Amino acid sequence: MESLLCLLSPATSKLSLISPSSSMAASATSFSSLSFASMASPPQRKTSTPRKRSSKLAKTPSPKLPTSNIDPNASSSVPPKKVLVPIGFGTEEMEAVIMVDVLRRAGAEVIVASVESQLEIEAAGGIRLVADTSISNCANEIFDLVALPGGMPGSARLRDCEVLQQITSRQAEDKRLYGAICAAPAVTLLPWGLLRRKQTTCHPAFMDKLPTFWAVKSNIQVSGELTTSRGPGTSFEFALSLAEQLFGESTANEVGELLLMHTADDLRGKDEFNEVEWSIDHKPRVLIPVANGSEEIEIVTIVDILRRAKLDVVVASIEKSVQILASRGTKIIADKLIGDASESIYDLIILPGEIAGAKRLHKSKVLKELLKEQGVAGRIYGAVCSSPAVLHSQGLLKDKKATAHPSVVGQLTNEVVNGAKVVIDGKLITSKGLATVTDFAMAIVRKLFGHARARSIAEGLVFDYPRA
């Protein structure tokens, strides 16, 4: 297949992809013939291009602190806002990754620091993340914000890190912003004495550990320099609140629009057509193919929620290395390479989105064959954000109703449903992505296991989910 070429039109800020050779099946529409609006950061900020990876697991980076994608035209006299997000074994991956993604979109220089002896950590749901640096290299840095993700035993690992305690205590003493979500307010900040005379919230399972007079049952609680929140399901609100405190309401609103948060508020939860049972008589096996440039929020959210539902989820890299660099700079280590993953049969294949990642998924011959077999066998498949275009290019949306990111839907020739976060048609499931991806994963759980299981998982996430 010929390589895909991208043409950026400065006048319209749209990516036009030149069509490859006409040898593709007549029933399939060329992915590269579609035009997409840029879904990256705000137009004035440039995004970095993922680096090429070797055939071996990439070596962990040097301790040098990373830089963010700040507008090069901005005045050099105004330094970027610097944010520390520490992670450890058992950190809740949705909370960490959503914070990092959102704050980088807002323009912050976000440093992800490991409190462990190595940079690679396994998060609470089994996703493996690679930090930018070690916490020891951050000891003498000054941060505009220190934001602690939760999860267990991740919050305890953060609590037991003396360097992080010193950094966060200094942050509070100097009246600079700090925050924590989920278990971290009760398990990490409370023992450090950093909740004194602060109204605080946390995950419902840990509320009884907070001082009764100061405990507040709210999704977001701002008390002076401290911001706290409840769980994975409130991570977007938490991250946007932090972005607003750093950059102002206008920037936070802009990022919220990019994440489709405001759009999601106006949409129905789910539309379903040609309803069939997703009946599987064994533990469902799911393949999540990933690539350099895939959207990390979507990867991590789908994997986290499906693993909470006890599905067997395999994350497979289509690159030469199992380590990929996601769209906002998060380093994720897949479970295996796509070639090894292709030896198994999957009940579901789900594609995460983002333009650059979707293009790379489209180029994978192994994935193309897996998707073809999935459709022929009548098994379940789906995609979020820009990746419905990958399914469209292979004829897998033919005679189907679907949805996708707003920049993609106008280019799809099948019947598009715009009024819902999630669209199910038979054994196809699609979503607009980003802030709607939790609804997408929850819809899969409900189709496989019923409302009661989905409701139980939603409560653990602290995600607003219908009772009936």
* DSSP assignment string, 341-379: HTTS--SEEEE---HHHHHHHHH-HHHHHHHHHHHHTT-
pLDDT on residue 1:
39
pLDDT on residue 78:
76
d(CA 462, CA 468): 17
Same domain flag for 243 and 223: yes
pLDDT on residue 298:
98
User: What is the CATH number for 365?
Assistant: 3.40.50.880
Q: What residues are labeled active site?
A: 182
Residues in the chain predicted with pLDDT less than 70, given as ranges, are 1-77, 264
* Contact status, residue 229 vs residue 221, Cβ threshold 8 Å: yes
Domain count, the chain: 2
Measured CA distances, 85 to 138, 140, 148, 217 (Å): 11, 15, 6, 24
How much of the chain, in percent, has pLDDT values that exceed 70?
A: 83
pLDDT on residue 297:
98
Do β-strands 145-148 and 177-181 pair in parallel, antiparallel, or remain unpaired?
A: parallel
Q: Which two tokens stand for residue 340?
A: 């090894």
Same domain flag for 272 and 176: no
Q: Could you tell me the pTM of the whole model?
A: 0.85
* Among 196, 229, 258, residue at a domain's last position: 258
* Among 237, 258, 279, residue at a domain's last position: 258
Same domain flag for 180 and 246: yes
Q: 382: which strand partners?
A: 350, 429
* Contact status, residue 63 vs residue 37, Cβ threshold 8 Å: no
Task: Provide the b/e sequence for 132-163 (b: ≥16 CB within 10 Å).
Answer: bbbbebbeeeebbbbbbbbbbbbbbbbbebeb
Same domain flag for 240 and 273: no
pLDDT on residue 79:
86
Same domain flag for 113 and 181: yes
pLDDT on residue 340:
98
pLDDT on residue 77:
65
